[in-house]
Amino acid sequence: MNEGLTFDDVLLIPKVSKINSRKDIDLSIKLHSKINLNLPIISSPMDTVTESEMSISMARNGGLGIIHRFCSIEEQVKQVKRVKRAENYLIENPICISPQATLKEIKNKSIEYDFETFLVVDENKKLLGLISKRDYFLEENENKKAFQLMTPFEKLIVSYKKISLAEAKNIFRKYKIEKIPIIDKNRKIVGLITFRDFKNSLNKKASRDKNGKLLVGAAIGIRGDYLERAKELVRAGVDILCIDVAHGHLEKSIKTIKEIKKYFPDIPLIAGNIATTEGAKDLIKAGADIIKVGIGPGSACTTRIIAGVGVPQLSAIIKAKSGSKNIPIIADGGCRNSGDIVKALAAGASAVMLGSLLAGTDESPGEIFYLKNKRVKAFRGMSSAEAYKNKLKSTNDNPEYEPISEGINYGFIEYKGSVKEVLTNLEKGIRSGFSYCGAINIKELWQRAEFIKISDKGYKESLPHTINFLD
């Protein structure tokens, strides 16, 4: 009988290190020729973890968000578009409105697109003016028209050509404005540069596509509307697709991988979940670009209890790595702290996927409420009965039967504040782990990492002990 190990069963042995400062450690990883991350952390496609707000923050901090699929195609597409519009040095298709648009319509568009600035154009797309939140924020008459509220063209500072970052900086500084419309000689819209986007473009840590927009992924299934969903997501500009099923080593899953790669050969594809060498090999053979590993290690998952199936996560990563050759692996589930993340990476993962560690933040979906005098947010497993019912309401899945719940239905996570703060603390811990192993980057960690198995008493020794804590 084989032995399975998870993160608490082992420690990494410290090695001689030439690292002078932990800030010199390079945590970047290339998941695909089109997907480069500066922080090897991906948010899980769970409906209590990742929508557009989480994805935006993940990308800004060097990671990646995968928007969940437990919603309609239209809603998921909308979430993707919000991320792609969140930061654009040059917005090539800015949102335009008619001069007859009412303030009420403008406010609705602002909510729909999570955007506050609109170009006012005529029927020929000729620029007439610009309207921003300061133009309408204090206006109470919602029947007022855009042309009554806008800053007219004659008062705008515009450019008749596309301009560089340096040129935009000079214009912003000289005229103390926040928006630069780009137009052609006929005053037709070419693009828009905003000061906010200019400022954001200076963030070199962010995960971006070739056009400087934030990276975003989205999940699809293997039944029902998965192909239509994939088509619409690709059309919306998604950077990477993730086949999100509990058991990825299914013939149906393998068929889906082949189908997706046939229709979208240039879109990076994550497939899983698996926990074996054979699983990794079969998914790679089918065309998967990245393998997702983890059967039952998630904090809200009960698969191992209900079905009696799974592989302890550290062993699962090692097994998948042995069958993946040079294909990247994402360790999905089981990480409860930065030390677990270091161990997952050391075992061969290129990145980790986190759920509960990122839940309960400002950016995770859901409202903050009080429970037993503590601020909390809801959290549940995606194989839970409630999540399953929600999926049936929002998608075109037609299951042959209703499966048993393999996840927590109603859980709560204590409120954590901003995800940026969570990621910053995790990153500091990861850098510390790399330093102890003498690894300057992830590839060196794979080469230098040496695990030692510990006993229960060894694990207890690892925890704080022999001291009293104040409440």
Q: What is the pLDDT of residues 288-309, one digit of tens each?
A: 999 999 998 987 788 888 899 9
pLDDT per position as a tens digit, 185-199: 999 999 898 888 778
Strand segments, DSSP code E, in 286-328 are 290-293
> Which residues are catalytically annotated?
301
Confidence at 87, pLDDT banded by 50, 70, 90: confident
Tokens at 144, concatenated: 């007022």
Identify the pLDDT of residue 247. 95
Rg (CA), the chain: 24
Identify the pLDDT of residue 302. 83
| Contact yes or no for 354/381 (Cβ under 8 A) | no
126 three-state secondary structure: strand
Identify the pLDDT of residue 469. 63
What integer is the mean pLDDT of 120-145?
88
CATH number of 96-200: 3.20.20.70, 3.40.605.10, 3.10.580.10, 3.40.50.970? 3.10.580.10
Identify the pLDDT of residue 398. 60
**What are the boundaries of each domain within the chain?**
7-86+205-462, 96-200
Identify the pLDDT of residue 142. 87
Please check the confidence at residue 7 and state whether its pLDDT lies above 50: yes
> Looking up tokens 């997501």, which residue turns up?
233
Mean pLDDT of the chain: 91
Identify the pLDDT of residue 318. 97
Please check the confidence at residue 174 and state whether its pLDDT lies above 70: yes
Identify the pLDDT of residue 312. 96
According to CATH, the superfamily of the domain at 7-86+205-462 is Aldolase class I (3.20.20.70)
Identify the pLDDT of residue 138. 79
Identify the pLDDT of residue 232. 98
Any long-range contacts for 112-117 (C-beta under 8 Å, 24+ apart)?
112/78, 113/81, 113/82, 113/85, 114/52, 114/82, 114/85, 114/86, 115/85, 117/179, 117/192, 117/194
Identify the pLDDT of residue 384. 47
What integer is the mean pLDDT of 107-125?
86
Please check the confidence at residue 285 and state whether its pLDDT lies above 50: yes
Answer whether 7-86+205-462 and 96-200 agree in fold. no
Confidence at 102, pLDDT banded by 50, 70, 90: very high
End-to-end distance of the chain based on CA atoms, in angstroms? 45
pLDDT per position as a tens digit, 349-406: 999 999 999 999 999 999 988 888 899 888 876 654 454 556 555 666 665 656 655 5
